[in-house]
Amino acid sequence: MSLCEIVNVSEEKLYETVFVILRMIIFDMTMEESIIYTTWYRSPCGDMLLGSFGGALCLCDWAARRNRAGTDSMIRRLSGARYVASESDVTRLAALQLDEYFAGVRTSFDLPLRLFGTEFRLKVWNALSEIGYGEVVSYRDLALRVGDVRAVRAVAAAVGANPVSIVVPCHRVIGSDGRLVGYAGGLEAKRRLLEIERCPGCAVR
């Protein structure tokens, strides 16, 4: 007995129904891909906006950032997605791991990431991700890791544009003299993050 006989519909009607169902599934997947789910996280150092796209974390940024709107505009433009204020599995997991980090019981993050930026910025952010917990490097050191010591200013700009703070640890980049310079969340937040990690190579001043 054929499927058409079982459900008592014509073959044409069956194909039409299957086509509609498939189209709905594809539409739902497309809609899911075009949404960045955002939620606020209240850290001990200040409020942060978490965002997920396609099952990965794409945003963990400070509310106090001077160019907060610029960061959001960049992500929207490069992702082609819109922000929707709603939690996701990824943002909930990120919040949990951030809680553990601030409690001093987590030294690395286990989160899927989706970063939006230029090729150069992505290269710098990848280098940032390789700076270990409790380690600090200077902007010059980071430029060397990226492969061009002459690009210190460009590297510094890329560090400042990092949209996934803490998880991609831009707070571990300091001045050559050990001083704290430049941070989207403010120098006090940077100081507190380094104190959590007890960075031995940083003067934290």
CA 149 vs CA 99, 114, 180: distances in Å: 36, 27, 20
User: What would the pLDDT profile of 25-84 be if each residue is shown by its tens digit?
Assistant: 443 444 456 899 999 999 999 999 999 999 999 999 999 888 888 899 999 999 999 999
In whole angstroms, what is the distance from residue 202 CA to residue 92 CA? 32
Contact 138, 189 (CB under 8 A): no
pLDDT of residue 65: 84
User: What would the pLDDT profile of 155-179 be if each residue is shown by its tens digit?
Assistant: 999 999 999 999 999 999 998 888 8
Q: What is the pTM of this model?
A: 0.80
Mean residue pLDDT across the chain = 85
As given in the structure block, the two tokens for residue 160 are 């400042």
Domain ranges, ordered by start, for the chain = 33-197
Which stretch of DSSP H or E encloses residue 38? Answer: strand 35-43
**φ, ψ at 141 (rounded to 5°):** -60, -40
170 as an active site residue: the answer is yes
pLDDT of residue 27: 39
User: Which fold does the domain 33-197 belong to in CATH?
Assistant: Arc Repressor Mutant, subunit A (1.10.10)
In whole angstroms, what is the distance from residue 90 CA to residue 39 CA? 11
Question: What type of residue is 60?
Answer: C
Find the catalytic residue in 60, 170, 199, 202.
170
